[in-house]
Amino acid sequence: MTLEITGKNIDITPAIRERFEFKFNKLEKLQVPLIKKHIMISKEPSKLFKIEASVSIAGGQLVASAEHEDLFGAITELYQKLDRQLKKQAHKPNSRRASHSEKPVQAEDTTEYDDEVEFDEA
């Protein structure tokens, strides 16, 4: 699937596009298929770069954002956030909660008692 990059107050250069493609190729190695990838880059008046990413996967959607003075620093920060979310999603079926969902059954007590009880009459 193609990578959609939208720029607000910034031009998308081939170097920026190449960096995002490199980072998303690394994310795809986690064996979770990325269905739709959309990135929005903006340069704020406070000289910070703000990047927001929305990635659709089979189990839902991942959303992350990052702000940094350096554009490539913001890309790296965004990649780390998406990587954490994807790893969590990839390991979700193996979680303890999923593998131990059945409650253990207790064994019944099979000891027998005598029904006849003798009392001494005084």
**What pLDDT score does 2 carry?**
80
**What pLDDT score does 1 carry?**
57
**What pLDDT score does 52 carry?**
94
**66 Cβ contact list (under 8 Å, min separation 6):** 50, 51, 74, 75, 77, 78, 81
**What pLDDT score does 34 carry?**
83
Q: Tell me the longest C-alpha to C-alpha distance in the chain.
A: 106
Ranges in the chain, pLDDT < 70: 1, 93-122
- Computed on alpha carbons and rounded to an integer, the radius of gyration of the chain in Å comes to 28
Quick one: which of 87, 74, 72 has its CA closest to 27? 87
* CA pair distance 14, 12, nearest whole angstrom: 7
**What pLDDT score does 109 carry?**
62
**7 Cβ contact list (under 8 Å, min separation 6):** 40, 41, 42
Quick one: which of 58, 57, 77 has its CA closest to 67? 77
Category of 114 on φ-ψ map: left (φ > 0), alpha (ψ -120 to 50) or beta:
beta
Residue 42 dihedral angles phi and psi, to the nearest 5°: -140, 150
* pLDDT tens digits for range 96-112: 665 555 555 566 666 66
**What pLDDT score does 44 carry?**
84
What structural domains and CATH numbers belong to the chain? 3-90 (3.30.160.100)
